[in-house]
Structure formats: structure tokens, C-alpha cells
Amino acid sequence: MPLIQTDALIIGAGPAGLFQVFELGLREISAQVVDALPFAGGQCVELYGDKPIYDIPALPACTGRELTERLLEQIKPFATAFHFDQLVSHVARRADGRFDVRTKAGLQFDCGAIVLAAGVGAFVPRTLKLAGLEAFEGRQLFHHADRVPAAAIAGKHVVVSGATDQALAFATRLCAAIGRRAPEAPARVTLVHRRDVFDAEDGTVAEFRNACAAGALHFVAGQPTGLALDGDRLAALTLLDATGATVSLQADTVVVLQGLSPKLGPLADWGLALERRQVHVETAKFATSVPGIFAIGDVIHYPGKQRLILSAFHEATLAAAGVAGHLRPGDDGPLEYTTSSPRIHKLLGV
Ligand SMILES: Cc1cc2nc3c(=O)[nH]c(=O)nc-3n(C[C@H](O)[C@H](O)[C@H](O)COP(=O)(O)OP(=O)(O)OC[C@H]3O[C@@H](n4cnc5c(N)ncnc54)[C@H](O)[C@@H]3O)c2cc1C
């Protein structure tokens, strides 16, 4: 794969990383963004996309998804390259003082500075541990509700695994299409979880139970134990049910929504000073213990740190000055108001 060169590489496309693009852009520092998730927004989209946030200045209420869309809109003038589905696994300093950054899937970056905006770590979906199942990833096996193609649903036997809010809401939503006899409707939807207790909001559980009671949705309490194949296709899951009996469940599509486990993982090996499993920073420039690596947002710790989006925006502003000073020594850039700076207006195309 070609080596991707950039001034700054931002690890994490949560609200901190997105606003970092803007602040770097104002300083004419080009940045690219890498995230392990398949979309931007970090916790705001993955954990509470449709719930309201009330403490973003000048935005009395907006959902996590809406905030992300607004941040993406704000950075449009900088035409930023995003690399999704890419877990950064390796960071090392090159002989020329720049950084060599690699992802697990094989992307390689050569960058002058890094801003770590990695939140609580890379969100890695909890998988269903069944030998051979991972071979169907992207064809018959999916780990993000938003990423299941219509063709994997329409007319198919869909098995949803999980007890999360997302799992119940997704299964219930699919059933609604059956009720409407919509062309995109699945043939049958079954939710599988080891017991009849769910880790979801009361309203979601109530809707799920209503759909089950109406016969539109099916629930099996059991533990998946194996697969049945039909040639090179996944045909069924075998489960050990609550009575200890083995049952077979036809499965054209398996959607595993068992939650995400944030993995600080590789970050712990990059030589950064950590404090309480968070990255230690100084708060003038949000510099880490490694010159050239800056860190902002939920991933950092300093006295008084508040894990709030508002705090991350402030941190991104100061980190941008730090990155500028690192890439162009002696040039911290004077403070310019976006209201009145012709240079900034040109950058923003306004
Ligand atoms: C339910 C809930 C409600 C909340 N409500 C509010 C609220 O009302 N107001 C408020 O201010 N805050 C709220 N928060 C907190 C807020 O969401 C966080 O402070 C904010 O998301 C932190 O942003 P971030 O960009 O630092 O990290 P994140 O949003 O966690 O994003 C970090 C991103 O980095 C990626 N990443 C990490 N490691 C790697 C790696 N090695 N390789 C590639 N990608 C990686 C992750 O996949 C993730 O997408 C809430 C949080 C939760 C859970």
C-alpha cells in the first residue's frame, strides 16, 4: 500500500478529533484522520447517536449524530481525508524525526505530528466467539447496525445476537418492515441472548416484548455453539438453549450487537507517559511526553480534567498551536479572529 504523507495525523474521529481538524486547518496545517469505527462521531454516534446533548455552547439541544454532522460541515472547507475501519496499532519515530504510523489493516502514514484524540480507546465490537464465523464478515456477518446492506435483510432469516439497546431496537425495527409487508422486509427475525434479561432502556425492552408478543419477532434464550454451512454459505447457527437442548436456527444473516469494548490497547505501547491509564499532558499545548505527539479529549488526564465535549474543543485549540510550533518552530501563530481575518475567510471560502 502507498505511504500516506500528511502534516498531522489525528487518531480518533470523535468530537475532539473533528474539531482538531478545524483548528489545524485555520493554521493551514493539513490533517488526515484515522478511526477504528466505520464512521465519524466516536461515542456521540456509537453510544448515544439519537439522544440529546444540552451543554454544547450556543446549541441548546442537539443529538450526538447532529453534533457530528455539524462538526463535519464545519470542516468541509479543509477537504479532510478520513480513514475509517482502521485501528492504529503502531506508532514510532522515524530517523528524520517524523512519525511512522501503521494500522492493523495495513495503512502506513508518514506524518510530522500526531494528535491523539482516541477517547476511551478504539471501539472494537464484542464478537460472537464461534470458530469459522469471522470468515463471513461483511457478507453474512455484521457488527454495526448501520452497516447491514439491504440485500442481507430483504427476504432473509436474520439472527440478531445481543442484549444491548442497539440489538433490541434493531431487531424491533426490522420487524416493523415485516408488519408493513415492505419489499425490504426480512423473512424472519430472531434475537438470541443467553437469557431473558436485557441491558437496554425500559422503553426499548417494552417495544421489543410487544413485537415478540405480537408474533412478529422471535426470541431464543440460548448460547450459540456452532455453525452449519451450505457449501460456502452460512446456513444456520446451533445453540444450546435454556433447557440444555441443542437447537438449530436458520441464519442467512447474523448481526452481532453485543456492545463495544473500548481498547486502549496499542496506545499503551507507544512510549507515552500514562497516568491512571490516561495520557499525561501538559496543558499549555496539550503535548504528551513524546515531542510531536499531542493529545486531547477523553484520552487525557490532567488536574481538573472533565470528560466533556466542551473541554475537548478548548484542548484542540491549544493543541493546534502546539502542532504549529512543532512543525514550524518559532511559529505559534498570532491569535486571529475568524470574524475579521481575511486569511481565515479565504481558507473557509467565505
Ligand atoms: C451516554 C453518554 C452521554 C454523554 N453525554 C454527554 C453530554 O451531554 N455532554 C458532554 O459534553 N459529553 C457527554 N458525554 C461524553 C462525551 O461523549 C465524550 O467526552 C466525548 O465523546 C469525547 O470525545 P473524544 O473525541 O475525546 O473521544 P471519543 O468520542 O471516544 O472518540 C474517540 C475515537 O477514537 C477512536 N480510536 C481510539 N483508539 C484508536 C486507535 N488506536 N485507532 C483508531 N481509532 C481509535 C475510537 O474508535 C473513537 O471513535 C457522554 C458520554 C456518554 C457515554
Q: Is beta strand 141-142 parallel, antiparallel or unpaired with respect to 253-256?
A: parallel
Q: How far is residue 241 CA from its own chain's centroid?
A: 33
Mean pLDDT computed over 148-177: 94
Give the cell for residue 46: 456509537
154's CB contacts (< 8 A; 6+ apart) are: 183, 184, 185, 186
> What is the dihedral angle through the alpha carbons of 19, 23, 26, 30, rounded to the nearest 10 degrees?
-80
pLDDT of the residue at 161: 97
Mean pLDDT computed over 20-41: 96
Q: Is 127-258 the same fold as 3-123+261-348?
A: yes
65's CB contacts (< 8 A; 6+ apart) are: 41, 44, 45, 49, 50
Gap between the Cα atoms of 8 and 31, Å rounded? 5
3-state secondary structure 58-76: CECCEEHHHHHHHHHHHCH
Mean pLDDT computed over 210-234: 95
Mean pLDDT computed over 240-267: 88
Mapped onto helix, strand or coil, the DSSP state of residue 295 is strand
List, chain by chain if needed, residues with CB within 6 Å of any ligand 1 atom: 11-17, 34-37, 42-44, 47-48, 53, 55, 87-88, 117-123, 266-267, 297-298, 307-310, 312
* pLDDT higher than 80, residue 331: no
Q: Which atom of ligand 1 is nearest to the CA of 309?
A: 11
Among 83, 309, 313, residue to substitute to test ligand 1 (most atoms within 8 Å of Cβ): 309
- Domains in the chain: boundaries: 3-123+261-348, 127-258
Taking the centre of ligand 1 as the mean of its atom positions, its distance from the CA of residue 307, in whole angstroms, is: 9
For ligand 1, atom 39, name the residue with the nearest CA: 122
Location of C-alpha cell 422471535: 218
For ligand 1, atom 46, name the residue with the nearest CA: 122
Write down the number of H helices and E strands in the chain: 7, 21
Residue 212 half-sphere exposure, CB side, CA atoms within 13 Å? 17
Mean pLDDT computed over 231-247: 93
Mean pLDDT computed over 102-121: 95
pLDDT of the residue at 265: 64
Taking the centre of ligand 1 as the mean of its atom positions, its distance from the CA of residue 44, in whole angstroms, is: 6
Among 9, 34, 39, 43, residue to substitute to test ligand 1 (most atoms within 8 Å of Cβ): 43
CB 105 within 8 A of CB 281: no
The architecture CATH gives domain 127-258: 3-Layer(bba) Sandwich (3.50)
Q: What CATH number belongs to 3-123+261-348?
A: 3.50.50.60
Taking the centre of ligand 1 as the mean of its atom positions, its distance from the CA of residue 273, in whole angstroms, is: 21
